[in-house]
Amino acid sequence: MFGRLMPREGNFFELFNAHAERIVEGSRELQAMINGFNEVEKHAQRIDDSERAADKITHETITLLHRTFITPFDRDQIHRLITRMDDILDLMQDVAESIVLYDIRKITPESRQLAEICQMCCERVRSAVSLLKNVKDAEAILKTCQEIDRLESDADRVMRAAMSKLFRDESDVKQLIKLRSIYELLENITDRCEDVANLIEGIVLENS
């Protein structure tokens, strides 16, 4: 009787999808910032806006989780998924803020390449999240997660090559430190996307 009076399911999938849209939105702004390297502060502000909007969605999801009696899958998985997704945008915000605060005047091809991989990862995070509502379609979800894993490996390779080139060719120590930080933050974005993919894989394997 008590269970029938409690909220059931909730609109978790709508919230996941809304958050994933903010992730993609932020990744596009980040790539535009790094590719063109003009209007840097404007892009940084837009990334900040996306991050704040995503924070609200995260808070709404956690609030709904506390109020919902029956959830579409494990409660801990829901909490970890939305917080791992939030980590992605937090790192984008860190990249944008670092570029502004460090007063970086030029950007490298390796940074652009990493930003492009970040955006591709984020697009696939959105795809994987959108498929979660039909968790029985395990093949499509797992394939998307594998693509994220592959992109994260690509980012690792770009990162290693970028670091090698940086320490070999950059004579300005301040510039070296700044670019190293940007490379690491960009690569960390792909790590967080992989975290989301691994969590989604676990959800699918337990519920399909």
Q: pLDDT of 79-124, one tens digit each?
A: 999 999 999 999 999 999 999 999 887 889 999 999 999 999 999 9
Residue with tokens 């993919």: 197
Residue 23 structure tokens: 């992730």
Q: Tens of pLDDT along 150-179?
A: 999 999 999 999 999 999 998 999 999 999
Please state which of the four CATH numbers 1.20.58.220, 1.10.630.10, 3.40.50.2000, 3.40.710.10 is assigned to the domain occupying 2-207.
Answer: 1.20.58.220
Name the pTM for this structure: 0.92
DSSP 8-state assignment for residue 1:
-
Whether the Cβ atoms of residue 190 and residue 118 lie closer than 8 Å to each other: yes
User: Distance between CA 28 and CA 86 in Å, rounded?
Assistant: 16
115 Cβ partners below 8 Å, 6+ apart? 30, 31, 33, 34, 35, 186
Nearest to 193 by CA among 97, 113, 128: 128
Separate counts of helices (H) and strands (E) for the chain = 7, 0
